[in-house]
Structure formats: structure tokens, C-alpha cells
Structure 1
Amino acid sequence: MKEKELSIQAIGITKKYPKNKIGLQPMSLEIKPKSFVALMGPSGCGKSTLLKCLNGDNPATSGEVFINGLSLIENYDLVKKDIGYVPQDDIIHRELSVYKTLYYAAKLRLPDDTTKKEIDQRINKVLKSLKLDQHDQGNPKGQKDIKDKKVKELSGGQRKRISIAVELLTEPSILFLDEPTSPLDPETIDSFLKSLRELAEGGTSIVMVTHKPEDLNYVDEIVFLGVKGHLVYKGAPQKITEHFRVDTIIEVYSKMSHLDEVKNYYTAPKDGSVSARVNPKLKKTKPDSSIRQLYWLANRYLNIKLNDFNNLLLLLLQPIIIGGLVSLVFTEFRIGVIFLTAISAIWFGVSNSAKEIVGEMAIYKRERMFNLNINTYIISKLLVLSLIALVQVVVFVAIIHINFKLNAIPEFPETYLRPFWESIGFLFMVSCSATLIGLFLSSYFSTTEKVMTVVPITLMPQIMLAGVMTKLDTRLIEILSFFTLGRWGTEGFARLQDDYFKNMDIATESVLIPEFNPDGYHKNDCKCEAASALDQLGLYDENLIDKGVLIGNAFNNFTANAIAVVILSLIMYLLIFISLNKKDSI
């Protein structure tokens, strides 16, 4: 190995945040190949910030980082696949088995022509390197291979190793780990760090954030930061106490928690030259196939949903419960049923998707850093969630159709939900559009709690601006309604009912939708009148149009309603893309 060969070289890097907050003071450092380096320091000193600056997750504000002699920023697409990174949060799906987790990761990260045999060999290799290839102990008769276990059945230490195994599948030359020993017990830590030690000796440079002094027994070097992001020491672990003139590492932590002391040891950056070495593995490869990536993303996501049986069951019970309540409360098919049917389709879409991105943001960000395409990610979510929404809509519409057909009132014997399949098609489109609303909320907000707080706020306008709860009789309210699925879903579904009756060969009346009047309706004493569903909504009141209060008849047809739903869907898709794109590291 040449003297100047380096895995990582940082020259004069700093990290600044808004309002003049300093994350890292100017620093330079070098990390050699096959070295095991610990990033240490008091809480809040910038350990994770430095790690992310070095791997590109959150680049430095100034200065430059070189990976194997190549600029991290300028050559990110070239070097990113030679970097392994395990953040503090798990980057694996808990619902999948260990084998499926690694298999899908391999399919998404390895070249397209990698065979299943080669993938299995790599999986076995990384599990062995992390000492995860053994069967459960203590149950010799019923031994269960760890590959067959679901991730959620594993201990914290095992999950962390599986996260690392995902990264090792691509055989990176550098592995970044953010506090990997935090969830581990002492016995597990020893085994875990020994396996990392062997990885380093095998050729992988490892940079690990840790706050545990006992981890120093396994590393080659320490990079120690003082408060406010000052580099105060880089060297052998055996010499750190001597450097700070203390007896224990605990005293080093205490001493470097005081800014006055830190300034005495701060190592200012020096001018440096970049190593010309380039890892021979770092060569341009053909772009990943979007179609292939979409297939494996959708395949993985479908498996995740199918394996989460209890949640899937709850989703499939929703249309049965809501449909049953609608059938119980309403004794005839009227505008209220049409309205609730459209709103239910919207609810299915939003509730299905509201937690689907935010709940796996750590996984998304890591896969995005590696090779994930935003469009294939969004579409894979939409495909699987739309399949669930389709089942929900079919079940719901079937319940409403059958109930009101069997229990049609004598005054309106032909009045029940029709046409059946056209209604399913339109409501499915509405539900898919609502799915995109949920995905946008999930991509925009940072926690599941925030998303679930906003979901009711998102749904209320769909209810209030549909034209049923109150008439849309002012220009402002009408314009606001144009941006809600509630309005277009209810209107479009009402049109389907009206158009069906208009096409029926009925001599007396063309439209038979019961209209509730102030006297109410009693089954044995009908006080209902026949009126079209659209007339009852009053979205295109001719008197208000003539007065200039409402815009007019520009959207007064089913095609315009469907186009409005499509436009809202495209807007939501664009917002999801923008929201996810803003989370990009580089």
C-alpha cells in the first residue's frame, strides 16, 4: 500500500446551519484503508453530523471530502455504490423475513444480470461475516435458521446486524455506522465488534459513531470531537488519555464538554493534497433499469402488506363496517348515500396511505442515496395501495348495491346503486387520487403523529365542500370546492346515477332519486319526491349562474368531472415528488 493511499480525506470541511449555528468547526482528517475508526465525543458535539458529511447524507457547507481520491460531491453517482451506511434507525422492513429482506435488497442494488445463486451466495457470505449464520441456541430439536425469521422477531442487536448485512451485499470499501452498539447488551457488543474488526481486516474501512468507552478496545483510531464541533484528537485509542492529561476516558468526555478546555486542544485544518488513488472498482456502470426497480419495489411492498396480516384485515374490514352502517342508517337510496359512498372512497385512499412513507423514511433515504428512483418508488406504492383500494371499493359498492336493491321502497322500486361496474370504476379512480393525497401527507411530514393529526384536517374540506352539507352558493366556496375530491367524487357519482336512469325506458319519470323534504320520510307514509341527484346538489344553480354568483356550466358534464379528478391526482403526484426530492442528501 502506498503511503498516500486513503479511503477518506476531508479538507477544511465545516457545517453551518441557519441562524449562524455551527455544527462543525473547520477540520481536516484522513482515514486509511482497512482501518476501524471510532467517532466519539460528548452529546451534541457533532459526531453524527461529521459522519453524514463524510458519506454525503448531509454534505459539508464548505470544504471538500474525497472518497478513494474522488470528490464526493462531484463524483457522487460514481462513489455512492462503494459506500455502505447504516443510520441510527433500522433500514429494514420488520414485516419481511431476514432472507426476503436481503434478497430484495440484492435485487434492488446488484446488477441486473446477478443470478439467484449468486445472490444466495452473497447472503450466506454476509451472514457468516456478521456471525448470523448460526441456528437458534437452546432449542436443538426445533432449530430455526435466522434467515427464516421475520425481522420483527429479532433482537435489537440482530436487527442492527441485518441492516449492516444489507449494506455488505454490495461489498462497499467503506462502511459508515451511526451508533450501532447503542441497542446492544455487553455480551452482544463483544461479538458484534469482533465481527466488525474482522471486516476491517478483510479490507473494509469502517467509521463508527459511538459513545461507549469500552468500544475503544476494538478500534484502530479515535476521532474525538469537543462541544460545538471542534476536532480535538485523532490518533490511537491507547494515547488519548495521555493527550488530554487525564487518567480515564470518562474524564476526557468531561473535559471536552467545556468550551474553554476544548479551544486549548482544537486542531485547526492544514492545507492538504488529495491522494490520486482511485479504487479500481469505481467505474461507471449502466443506469439501473427503472422497470426492473419498479417490479422489485412493488413486489417487496406487496409482500410487506401481505405479511402484515392484522393491519391488512383491518383495512379490508373498513368497507364492510362502513357499508353496513350506511345500510343500517338509510332506509332508501338517496343523495346522502351517494355522498357517503364518495366520501368513503376518499377515506379508503387517504387512510391506506397516510403512514406508508413517513413510517419507512430511514429506509427510503438510504435506498435513495444508493440508487432509488423517486418515480418508481411513488408508483410502486400507488400500485399496491390501489390494489387494496380496489378490493375495498368493490366490497363497499357491492354492499350498497345489494342492500338497496333488496330493500327498495315501493314508491321507487328501480332506485338503488347503478350502474354497478361503472360506479366501481369511477369510485376506484377517486380512491386512487385520495391515495396520492395520503402519500403526499406521508412524504411531507416528519412523523407519523403529525400525519395523523393532519388527516382529519384534510378530510373535513372533502365533506364540507361536496355540496351536500351546505349549498355551494358563493364564488369563493365554489372555487375552493374545485380543489377537493369530495366535490368531484360526489358530483361524478351522482351523475352516474342520473345518467343511468335517463337511459332507462321509463315513461313516467326519467330520474328516480328520493329527495328528503322537511316533513321527513316514513316507510309506511312516503313523503319523498323524485328529483335528480344533481339537482339536489345544486352545484349548477341556474339562478345563481345568471346572477354571476357561480362560474357556470364549464364543468357540467361527467367527462369534466373525471378530468378534474385526474388533474388533482397529477398535482398530488407532483407534490409528492417535490417533497421527496427535497429530502435528497446530494
Structure 2
Amino acid sequence: LGPDSDRRTERPGRAAWIGRALDNDIVIHDVLASRHHAFLTPTPAGPEIRDANSSNGTFVNGVKAGSAVLSEGDVVTIGNVDLVLSGGILVRRQEAATRTGGLEVHGVEFSVNGKNLLEKISLTARPGTLTALIGGSGAGKTTLSRLIAGYATPTSGVVTFEGHNIHTEYASLRTRIGMVPQDDVVHRQLTVNQALGYAAELRLPPDTSKADREQVVAQVLDELGLTQHAQTRVDKLSGGQRKRASVALELLTGPSLLILDEPTSGLDPALDLQVMTMLRQLADAGRVVLVVTHSLTYLDVCDQVLLMAPGGKTAFLGPPDRIGAAMGTTNWAQIFAKVGADPDEANRRFLAQNKPPPPAQTEAPADLGVPPRTSMRRQFSTIARRQVRLVVADRAYFVFLALLPFVMGALSLTVPGHTGFGYADPTSESAGEAGTILTLLTMAAAFMGTALTIRDLISERPIFRREQAVGLSTTAYLLAKIAVFCVFAVAQAAVATAIVVVGKGPPKRPAVLLGNATLELFVAVAATCVAAAMLGLLLSALARSNEQVMPLLVVSLMMQMVLSGGMVPVTNRIFLDQLSWAVPSRWGYAAQASTVDLWAVAPGPQSPRDSHFQHTSGTWLFDVGMLALLSVSYVAVVRWRIRLKQ
């Protein structure tokens, strides 16, 4: 069943399979339906629908159900398709019923801490229509769009789409609503085809074959006129083309309601026209399209305009060519000034000219439910492969990361002296050589790890938030990134350690635990680099903008340099000693000092002696264990910071 379906139905007098595959008794032509999605079987109480472990679930009257006995008129939702039990036969809901439904916003109000952000907003948008939400700052345009998308629940009023209450049946409607935020939600380092390919893996059912995913991507690219740019990197596209790519991500799942927040922001008039023309075409294909915009030049392509006054009040609703008759002028500057000066009067004038709708019956919102998602393992694999490609595709950054361990390792060779990690004469220039080498090696690990990850989360925050909303697991996302970054961090640590060992010689004292002192030194450096990478992720999660990344990196490295214990003694120093426990360099330096037996090879005054430098297996394990504990702690805070707020 679907747009190209033979509309086969099955009388529930015998068992019947329902799904996307052609061998089903009832075929659902929808990308969100699993190949074998559900099973319909007769029972003495009536036909019973049973979900067959589908990816996106089976819904009965808007409620997700593992199994349910159907009654006359019950609506079964599979993917984006509604089936109705009518006369004992399971049939697709009539297209006419859907078209007369569309989007209905009925008497919606929304308040926060007693302050009204939206006041009695009513709006009807039929399939095939384009509606613009306009108004000055603080008018509630974005608030209304997010409420319609299901991200917020109205204080009163009802929002329905295709006959379903968005806020009480959100779990079944989630895939029918596409939300394109103001920020681009595609990775700029990838080609358009790559970005859509990874998105299709995350959003489409896991039983969708690679060929089917490629077909869906190709269809979306063709509809948006991006086929010729499929192999072009997103950062090489024009502003309008990048916005099309963001829209393409949402079209992968075939939504019938598309909401865009400021899609023309920052675009010149020519690109503005391109985007608005694209939205007109998307609406003409049978979708309900809502666009929040400050651009007023091309509103004539819209079917209707909702002008919102400050405080979330309606000042005008209707075709754009009637704005002059309603407002007394077609000059938008004068209209906005008039509405902004007295929003209550603008709202009263609108209500006087338009019959108010009857009071809406507000229903209690249902649990949003768990977003339909592919398995953790599949998401982990997709995100990990995408992350590797992102790192490699950013050529300048990748070259920087590749050269960094060579540069940092070479800097350690500039330390004067000839004893390396061996015993040094207290009166020679080599007296502090071992300690200085360890300090540089520790700071190299701290720099490499932090620089590897500190810009990652903040740079793709809008992308992650949208992927989260459509089912991406926060845990899978983080674990995939951690796995990739750990591999890069360990590789960098190996290069830097190898350069130091070759240039200065291996540790002269025996290993305390692993049997080989060089291996033990490498493990300590690698653990430091990994912990610093996790610290970088934490800083990236805490940053509010990309501009904050560099200051955070500098402050972090300065703190780690001071608190490592290699340059400035921190043992038994109030505040410094306690603070040093929270940074990787403190324990990385201590673990390396334990391996090389710094107390023995660097004679001289070391008072007070740091007990974490002892050349014993217990001390070394404690130091490395602290690095592991810090890493886990950083990741826990990151997960808390970026988790999805319902």
C-alpha cells in the first residue's frame, strides 16, 4: 500500500503478513515499513495485529502496540501509512479524508512561568499548501513551529495532522514530520551523496538494502535538483544548495509535513528566491509546508501568511495579496511598526474581521515514546565510519593531526644532555634531563589528545540534535566517536614515544608491571593522550560556540602544564595538589615517572617526594587507573551534557 501500490487488502479471515517486501499479503510501499513489519491473524475476539519486531513499530489508534485486537474503525499505522478496519476489511485510509485534514492548529496557547508566548493561535494548512510564519522578534514564530513539530506541548489548544493529535499520538506521527532548523544539518566535509547515505543508514529500517537506500537518496536528490551535485562537497555548495541538502535529509523518510526555520537567513535575494521556489515545489508535490521567515520579498509564492504580533498574537492570517486590505497598507515596514506598537489592537482587529473558532478540547499529552531507531550496533558502525571519513576529509586538520606527534616528539630531542632516561650525574647538564623529557612527552600527549577532539561536538551540535530527535542513540554516538578518537590518540602516542625512545634511548630501569619498560612508557603516554582526548570532548560539549574552542584549548593546556608536577611541584601544596587530581597530565607524568624510576635516575633535591612516582607496580597501576577514571568521568559528564531533553 502506498503511492504506487496495487492497494491490495486482506480480509482478516486468515493469517496475513504486512510489510514492505513484495511477498507480503498486504504490501506497504513506504520506506519506514520493515520488510515484514506486522502479522494479522484471526481470533475469536476479532482480527489481531501483531508487530513482527519492526524497526519503527506498529501503532493502533496512535498508540504503539506489540499486539492488539482490532475493532471496527480502528486505525493501524505502519510507517507513514494509515490502514483502517472497515466492514471487516483492512483498507488504506481514503486519500480524500487525508486531504481534508492536513494541519489544524486550534486555539493554541503556550506559556512558560506564567508568561504567554502564544495566545489563541488557530491555523489550517491543507496538503499542497505553503504557509509563511512572519513577525518581529519575540512574536513566537519559532515557538509555534517547534510546537507544531511536536517538540513542545501547548498549554491549551489542539494541533492535529492528518486526523491525528500531534501531542497525544506523537510516537506514530514522528516520522511524518520533517523539521529543518536554521543551522545547516549536514557535515560540510562530506559530499552530498555521502551525507545522505549515512543519514539513510541511521533513519531507514535496518532491513533496507544498500541498493534500496541508494534509490531513496537518488529520488530525493532528483526532487531537489541536486543530482548534478551529488559528488560535490557540501562546503563547496552555494547557500541555497546547502539548504536544499538539509531539506534532503528530512525527505529521506517521506514526511508529509515539512517545517523550516529561517531557511533564507543570510542568503542574497537570488538564493532567497531559489529556496522559496524549492519550498513551493515541495508543497505542490502534496506536502504541507510551513516556513518561518524574516524575508518578505517572495511571500507571493505562499498560499497564506500568518503575521504574528509580539506576545504570540495573531495579527493577520490569509493570502498574501489580502494583507493590504486587512492592514491598510502593503508597506511591510509600516505593517510591522503598526503591529509592534500595539499588538493587542492588531489582534482585536483581526478577531473582529474573522469569526473565532469554537473552543478547543485539550487532551492530556501522551508520552513521546522512544524515537524509532536502528540497533545500537548499526548506529555505532555508521557513526564510526562517518567519523573516520570526517577526520580524513578535513585535509588541513588531518595533516595537522598527522604531523603533530612528529613535531612534539622532535621537541623532546632538544632537551640538553646525553643520558636520556639513565642515571645522571647531579653536577652535569644532564641532571634534569629525564624529568624534562617526561614533561615534554606528557604535554605532547595532552596537546595531541585535546586538539584531536575539542572542536568536534560543538562543530556538529545542530546535526547531532536533529539526529537525536529522529532516533540516534546518545550512547552509540559517543561510543563510536570515542572508539575512533582512541585509535587516533594511540597512534599519535606511538609515534611521539617512538621518536623519544629512538632519540634519547629507552628507559634504563626495568618495567614495573608489563615486562618491557618501553612498552610500559608507551602505555602511560597513550593513556594520557586518550584521557586528554576525553577532556577535549568535555570542553567541546561545554562550549557555546566555535569561537570559544581556542581559548578553552589554551587554558586547558596551561593548566595541565602547571599541574602536571613536572614543571611546578604540586605535592602537598594546598589547592594545587587537590586541583591536579582532576587533570590527565598529573597522572600521565606520574605513570611515566614510575616507569623510568625518576627518583633514581634524576638525583638531587626532590622534597617533598611525590609518592605517585614510586617505581612499583601498585603505584603505576594507580596512576594509570586514575587516567582511566578521569576518562570515564569526562565521558559521563559529556553524555549528561548532550543528552536529549524530552
Tell me the TM-score range normalised by the shorter chain. Answer: 0.7 to 0.9
CA distance change for structure 1 residues 451 and 269 in 2, over 3 Å: closer, same or farther? farther
Contact 2:109 2:155 in 1 (8 A): yes
Shift of 1:266: 6.0
Please say if residues 130 and 196 of structure 1, whose CA atoms lie closer than 8 Å, have aligned partners that are also in contact.
no
* Aligned with 1:481 (options 551, 566, 580): 580
> Shift of the alpha carbon at 1:348?
1.4
The answer to whether the 8 A contact 2:110-2:154 is kept is yes
Stretch deviating more after TM superposition (201-210 or 157-166):
201-210
CA distance in 2, matches of 1:7, 1:555: 68
Is 1:38 paired with 2:132? Answer: yes
CA distance in 2, matches of 1:402, 1:28: 74
**Deviation by residue 1:537-581 (Cα, 9 ceiling, x = unmatched):** 822299xxxxxxxxx999962222222222212211110111002
Counterpart code for 1:92: V
Contact 1:485 1:565 in 2 (8 A): yes
Greater helix share, structure number: 1
Contact kept, 8 Å, 1:38 with 1:221, in 2: the verdict is yes
Give the conservation status (yes or no) of the 8 Å contact 1:433–1:565.
yes
Residues 363-384 of structure 1, C-alpha deviations (whole Å, 9 max, x = no match): 1111111111111111122122
User: Does the residue aligned with 1:568 lie in a helix, a strand or coil?
Assistant: helix
Which letter does structure 1 place at the counterpart of 2:346? V
Distance in 1, Cα, partners of 2:604 & 2:106:
74
Q: How far, CA to CA, are the matches of 2:628 and 2:612 in structure 1?
A: 25
Deviation track 1:77-103 (CA, whole Å, cap 9, x = no partner) reads 432222111111110011111111111
Q: TM-score, normalised by structure 1?
A: 0.81
The residue type paired with residue 258 of structure 2 is L
Deviation at 1:211, TM superposition (A): 2.2
Query: Cα offset for 1:433?
Result: 1.7
Give 1:25 shift: 3.5
Name the counterpart of 1:290: 376
Counterpart in 2 of 1:240?
323
Aligned AA for 1:179? Answer: E
In the alignment, the residues of structure 2 paired with residue 577 and residue 220 of structure 1 have an alpha-carbon distance, to the nearest angstrom, of 43
C-alpha distance in structure 1 between counterparts of 2:371 and 2:451, whole Å: 40
Which of 351, 360, 376 pairs up with 2:451?
A: 351
SS of corresponding position for 2:379: helix
1:494 to 593, 609, 612: 593
Match of 2:465 in 1: 365
In the alignment, structure 2 segments of 5+ residues that lack a partner are 1-95, 421-433
Matches within 5 A, 1:239-278: 239-259=322-342, 261-265=345-349, 267=351, 271-273=359-361
1:203 partnered with 2:302: no
Amino acid at match of 1:361: R
| Inter-partner Cα distance in structure 2 for 1:444 and 1:245 | 49
Match of 1:540 among 596, 604, 611: 611
Question: Does the 8 Å CA contact 2:612/2:619 hold for their aligned counterparts?
Answer: no
The answer to whether the 8 A contact 1:56-1:585 is kept is no
Q: Deviations over 1:122-152 (max 9, x none)?
A: 222112212223xxxxxxxxxxx31111111
Separation in structure 2 between the aligned mates of residue 537 and residue 323 of structure 1, nearest angstrom: 30
Q: Structure 1: give runs of 5+ residues left out of the alignment.
A: 134-144, 276-281, 500-510, 518-534, 543-551
Give yes or no for contact 2:157–2:360 (8 Å, CA) kept in 1: no
* TM-score of the two chains, using structure 2 as the length reference: 0.74
Which of structures 1 and 2 has the larger relative contact order (alpha carbons within 8 angstroms, sep 6+)?
1
- Residue in structure 2 matched with residue 421 of structure 1 by the alignment: 519
CA separation of 1:4/1:148 partners in 2, compared to 1, >3 Å: closer, same or farther? closer
Query: Deviation digits for residues 15-43 of structure 1, max 9, x if unmatched?
Result: 43x6x665434433333333211111124
* Aligned residue in 2 for 1:505: none
Q: CA deviation at 1:284?
A: 9.9
- Name the CA shift for 1:272/1:383 in 2 (closer, same or farther; >3 Å): same
d(CA) in 1 for partners of 2:441, 2:357: 66
Partners of 1:12 and 1:269 within 8 A in 2: no
Q: CA contact under 8 A between 1:10 and 1:54: conserved in structure 2?
A: no
Counterparts of 1:286 and 1:38 in 2: how far apart (Å)? 30
C-alpha deviations, 1:397-445, integer Å up to 9, x for none? Answer: 0111111029x9xxx8999xx7223322232222222211111111122
Query: Which consecutive aligned stretches of 4+ in structure 1 deviate over 6 angstroms post-superposition?
Result: 282-286, 412-415, 552-555
Question: Would you say 1:446 and 2:539 are equivalent positions?
Answer: no
CA deviation string 1:350-371 (max 9, x = no partner): 1111110111111111111111
Helix, strand or coil at the partner of 1:39: strand
Match of 1:85 in 2: 179
> Take 1:295 and 1:128, find their aligned partners in 2: how far apart are those partners?
28
Does residue 121 (structure 1) correspond to residue 121 (structure 2)? The answer is: no
1:574 matched residue in structure 2:
636
Structure 2 matches for 1:521-536, cutoff 5 A? none
Residues 34-73 of structure 1 correspond to what in structure 2 (within 5 A)? 34-57=128-151, 60=154, 65-73=159-167
